[in-house]
Amino acid sequence: MLLAGTVVADPDTVYEEGAVVVDDDEIVAVGPRSSVEDAHADHPVREFDLLSPGLVGGHVHSVQSVGRGIADDTALLEWLAEHVLPMEASLGREEMRTAAELGYLELLESGTTTAIDHLSVNHAEAAFEAAIDLGVRGRLGKVLMDKRAPEGLREDAEEALDSTERLLEAYHGAADDRIRYAVTPRFAVSCTEACLRGAREIADRYDGVRIHTHASENADEIATVEADTGMRNVEWLHEVGLTGEDVVLAHCVHTDEREREILAETGTHVTYCPSSNMKLASGIAPIVDYLDRGIDVALGNDGPPCNNTLDPFTEMKQASLLQKVDRLDPEVTPAQVVFEMATLGGARAAGFESVGALRPGWKADVIALDTDLTRATPLYDPLSHLVFAAHGDDVTFTMVDGDIVYDEPSAASRPATPTTSASGRDGSQTGFGSR
Ligand SMILES: [Zn+2]
């Protein structure tokens, strides 16, 4: 298939009249349409307004989608204990499947093609199955909690680690390697030392498995870890083996100099979740400092109860604006820097090679956006548009691994006025049935 339109191939490369050629699961050509079209004349052509790499959600809780709006105006520990953990504990297998589907549909409809997904303690297999069926690329993991967890979510460390290993053996590398495993302790507050060290042992025993957890999000969380261990949160994770190039730490809002040195020295990835950090009043992560130190930064929506959407475009805008305000410097987070976090930075954190840009030989994870909108007029700079003006519902087409997983007619191709028949906008190719 040849996808034609304005192409943002990566943070530094835009083709105003461009094309992306896809064969099976791979991009085989990207460039000016005039230079790639003749060589691929046998490919069916789809016309779009604006094409972009699929975005990477560096920290998501798909299964919290059913808790959207249940816990506004609270801070992290109360938000968890009073609202989110009881909600997660109440979900049976069928509800977990529905919750995960809701999360993945929102991701795919709004332009996220890869997600690092923090599931729940129970029924994680239902979310793995949903991810496989709906076509998202994902780094998923069952949550580990063996202390300070409510009834229904607390397991003992051995039980939690055993079920982690069973899930890992069943799903790591599933769906042609579109699904990979992350060992996922919830956070140091709710995991014993045995549980955290056990997470590291499992990750070391399997090729390509990662570790994903929360760290240093909130002052009360950090004080709790300090009271338990005598160490700062990131220092403690480092002590028990949970830093390194295979580790993704969500948030890292409040870190001291030593912790930042640890993150940089170990190659640990950080996921910046600006909407969540603002909504839970957690604070402002020192992202510009992390980038200056060479730390890889991904971008994440976190979960619907703390965001309250999984729109990656809103997240890019918030990501930039919050750093500008923090530094009182408009130049610290231009569109290129934020787009890198939302694509290549996220892919590095998720541990997927050849994902996060439109390049020959890379994975065919491509999205298309409608720009026939008053909000997109005029459109001088496609990259600026993606970061500062686009919304998730501008996305009309999502391809993951060469499969079309979302295909909505653009506004331009919809009838200008609804017809009197009940079908209205129906009857077109809308839907998820193409896999
Ligand atoms: Zn989270």
| Residues 59 and 49 both lie in one domain | no
Output the CA 217–ligand 1 centroid distance in Å.
9
Residue 272 phi, psi (nearest 5) = -90, 125
Confidence at residue 416, expressed as pLDDT on a 0 to 100 scale? 57
| Residues 173 and 317 both lie in one domain | yes
Share of the chain above pLDDT 70, in %: 94
Output the CA 117–ligand 1 centroid distance in Å.
9
Query: What six digits make up the tokens of 44?
Result: 């069916």
Computed on alpha carbons and rounded to an integer, the radius of gyration of the chain in Å comes to 21
Query: What six digits make up the tokens of 45?
Result: 């052509």
Burial class (CB in 10 A: 0-12, 13-18, 19+), 163: middle
Spatial contact of 22 and 399, defined as CB atoms under 8 Å apart: yes
Pairing status of strand 269-272 against strand 297-299 = parallel
Quote the number of domains for the chain. 2
| Residues 332 and 366 both lie in one domain | no
Output the CA 110–ligand 1 centroid distance in Å.
19
Output the CA 289–ligand 1 centroid distance in Å.
22
| Residues 205 and 259 both lie in one domain | yes
In CATH, what number is assigned to the domain containing residue 111? Answer: 3.20.20.140
Confidence at residue 422, expressed as pLDDT on a 0 to 100 scale? 40
| Residues 276 and 408 both lie in one domain | no
Spatial contact of 326 and 274, defined as CB atoms under 8 Å apart: no
Output the CA 395–ligand 1 centroid distance in Å.
25
Unique residue bearing structure tokens 């999000």: 217
Output the CA 64–ligand 1 centroid distance in Å.
10
In CATH, what number is assigned to the domain containing residue 385? Answer: 2.30.40.10
* Among candidate residues 316, 350, 384, the one where a domain is terminated: 350
| Residues 297 and 322 both lie in one domain | yes
| Residues 309 and 406 both lie in one domain | no
Q: How far apart are CA 405 and CA 109, in angstroms?
A: 9
Confidence at residue 194, expressed as pLDDT on a 0 to 100 scale? 98
Pairing status of strand 297-299 against strand 366-369 = unpaired
Q: How far apart are CA 99 and CA 90, in angstroms?
A: 12
Output the CA 276–ligand 1 centroid distance in Å.
8
Tell me the DSSP string of 102-163. HHHHHHHHTTEEEEEEE--SS-HHHHHHHHHHHT-EEEEE-EE--SS--TTT---HHHHHHH
Query: What six digits make up the tokens of 180?
Result: 């990979």
Query: What six digits make up the tokens of 156?
Result: 């003992």
Which of 46, 16, 50, 49 has the alpha carbon at shortest distance from 34?
16
Confidence at residue 411, expressed as pLDDT on a 0 to 100 scale? 59
Q: How far apart are CA 142 and CA 63, in angstroms?
A: 11
Confidence at residue 208, expressed as pLDDT on a 0 to 100 scale? 98
Q: How far apart are CA 403 and CA 432, in angstroms?
A: 10
Unique residue bearing structure tokens 């943002």: 8
Spatial contact of 254 and 283, defined as CB atoms under 8 Å apart: yes
Output the CA 331–ligand 1 centroid distance in Å.
28
Residue 43 gets the label, from left (phi > 0), alpha (psi -120 to 50) or beta, of beta
| Residues 285 and 338 both lie in one domain | yes
Output the CA 141–ligand 1 centroid distance in Å.
12
Confidence at residue 126, expressed as pLDDT on a 0 to 100 scale? 98
Domain that holds residue 293: 55-350
Output the CA 329–ligand 1 centroid distance in Å.
28
Confidence at residue 403, expressed as pLDDT on a 0 to 100 scale? 98
| Residues 338 and 360 both lie in one domain | no
| Residues 48 and 63 both lie in one domain | no
Using one digit for the tens of pLDDT, what is the confidence trace for 93-121?
Answer: 999 999 999 999 999 999 999 999 999 99
Q: How far apart are CA 90 and CA 134, in angstroms?
A: 24
Q: How far apart are CA 249 and CA 211, in angstroms?
A: 8
| Residues 258 and 380 both lie in one domain | no
The half-sphere exposure of 234 on its side-chain side, counting CA atoms within 13 A, is: 28
Q: How far apart are CA 189 and CA 1, in angstroms?
A: 49
Confidence at residue 414, expressed as pLDDT on a 0 to 100 scale? 58
Ligand 1 ion: residues within 5 Å (CB): 302
Output the CA 302–ligand 1 centroid distance in Å.
5
Q: How many C-beta atoms lie closer than 10 Å to residue 26's C-beta?
A: 15
Output the CA 170–ligand 1 centroid distance in Å.
24
CA distances, 120 to each of 100, 128, 133, 336 (Å):
10, 11, 19, 34
Give the residues of the chain that fall short of pLDDT 50.
Answer: 418-435
* Among candidate residues 294, 327, 350, the one where a domain is terminated: 350
Output the CA 74–ligand 1 centroid distance in Å.
15
| Residues 46 and 149 both lie in one domain | no
* Among candidate residues 350, 368, 402, the one where a domain is terminated: 350
Spatial contact of 400 and 51, defined as CB atoms under 8 Å apart: no
Confidence at residue 415, expressed as pLDDT on a 0 to 100 scale? 59
Pairing status of strand 2-10 against strand 247-251 = unpaired
Task: Give the SS3 label for residue 384.
Answer: helix
Output the CA 214–ligand 1 centroid distance in Å.
6
CA distances, 334 to each of 213, 236, 323, 387 (Å):
28, 34, 10, 9
CA angle 298, 323, 255 (to 5 degrees): 65
Confidence at residue 401, expressed as pLDDT on a 0 to 100 scale? 98
Unique residue bearing structure tokens 């906008």: 425
